[in-house]
Amino acid sequence: MGELTVTVRRAFPDFTLAVDHAFALDGITALFGPSGAGKSTLLRIVAGHERGAQGRVIFDGEAWQDGRTHVPPHRRGVGTVFQDARLFPHLNVRGNLRYADKRAPAGSGRITFDGVVRALDLGPLLDRRPQALSGGERQRVAVGRTLLTRPRLLLMDEPLAALDLRRKADILPHIAALPRTFGVPIVYVTHAIEEVTQLADRMAVLAHGELRAAGETAAVLERRDLQPELGHFEAGVALTARVTAHDADFHLTHVRLGEQRIQMPAAPVPVGSDVRLRVRARDVALAREEPRGISIRNRLRGTVLDVAEEADTAFAEVLVDVEGQHLRARLTRAAVADLDLAPGTPVWALVKSIAFDRRALTAPRPSADDG
Ligand SMILES: Nc1ncnc2c1ncn2[C@@H]1O[C@H](COP(=O)(O)OP(=O)(O)OP(=O)(O)O)[C@@H](O)[C@H]1O
């Protein structure tokens, strides 16, 4: 979808950001890291708002910044959405959207007023003033307004940070669908790992002003060496599975991972679409034989890929291949010894249905074979 090459250095008195990387912009790229890691600084450099940054920024072969050039922000074709919506209070939603639409460059491809209203479900809000919107609605309008400026690259700086979990869950599917609907890549800054899992096709991890990792989300999430950055408690993976049925009686949704089945609390996702499930390492148990007479419904056949014991602690992390996707299981080292787990050992991975948070679902993405 595009490439953003960033070779930059920005030194403040107490902090230096130094990044040298070519980001493959495919769909949504999450820029993840703790507070103060330098995420917003990096976004500002890309947008052209950090004049003190040295180095090069190249977007799709076009130099936005190098030794001689510094293309001003308004000439880069970058749109930014911030945590606060920054809408015009004296205009209603339609007016806010039209303002951007009218000023956008001509001949700008797939983005249309009606398309944006539809994609973000803004129809019912068009006549309202920003003051009469909820926080989540305001952010949807802010995203719509920024899209209507026809950006070539959309930057989002913690756009949902001020929202509660429910509002986040309402808006995430809308954001997830944007790159495919409008052909615009998104760089999405967040320090919330669940937003990364739900949204991001690719992710980059930033800490102390340095890029620690970048790549496909699933591959980065399973890396144990990133535990200091990704967090012990939240460590886990993202599995992609296909919804096969809903069970109204028991309030369950059935999904398929390759040939294997998973049950989770009912989730409002159509049958046939793909969902992204976040599974934390601490929610996975392993068995050498298929357990019987046990309440855990999700028993996945897999093979141990790797066992990493954490010296001087009680714990170990086991990486398990299930149908070509990877699960992480956090066990005690004693259990690893007991079960004699090693690469190649066949195991059953057990995951309680409740561990699949129904909020932790992505938008129904177009499934792979829908093209
Ligand atoms: N103009 C500035 N002058 C001095 N220091 C700055 C300036 N801008 C940013 N910094 C410092 O750079 C560091 C990184 O800030 P930045 O806002 O990029 O981090 P972040 O990862 O986006 O954090 P957060 O998630 O809290 O927004 C911080 O220590 C901040 O104090």
Q: Write the pLDDT tens digit of every residue in 317-349.
A: 999 999 999 999 999 999 999 999 999 999 999
Q: Does the CB atom of residue 38 touch ligand 1 within 6 A?
A: yes
- Distance (Å) of CA 38 to CA 109, 238, 326, 339, 345: 33, 25, 30, 43, 42
Higher-scoring residue by pLDDT: 235, 9? 9
Tell me the pLDDT tens digit for each residue of 3-58. Answer: 999 999 999 999 999 999 999 998 999 999 988 999 999 999 999 999 899 999 99
Considering only CA atoms, which residue is closest to atom 4 of ligand 1?
12
Q: Is 130 in the pocket of ligand 1 (CB under 6 A)?
A: no
Query: Residue 191 CA: which ligand 1 atom is closest?
Result: 25
**Does pLDDT of 361 surpass 80?**
no
Residue 257 in contact with residue 301, Cβ under 8 Å?
A: no
Backbone angles phi, psi at 336, to 5 degrees: -60, -45
Residue 40 CB less than 6 A away from ligand 1: yes
- Ligand 1 atom with the smallest distance to the CA of 209 is 14
pLDDT, greater one: 244 or 85: 244
CA distance 210 to 207: 5
Task: Write down the ipTM of this complex.
Answer: 0.93
Q: What CATH architecture applies to the domain 3-231?
A: 3-Layer(aba) Sandwich (3.40)
Q: Is 77 in the pocket of ligand 1 (CB under 6 A)?
A: no
pTM of the model: 0.84
Q: Domain 238-370 - what CATH class? A: mainly beta
Å from CA of 83 to ligand 1 middle: 15
The chain-wide mean pLDDT, for the chain, equals 90
- Residue 163 CA to ligand 1 center (angstroms) comes to 22
**Cα–Cα distance for residue pair 100/61, rounded to 1 Å:** 27
> What residue owns the CA closest to ligand 1's atom 9?
41
Residue ranges per structural domain of the chain: 3-231, 238-370
- Indicate whether residue 80 lines ligand 1 (CB < 6 A): no
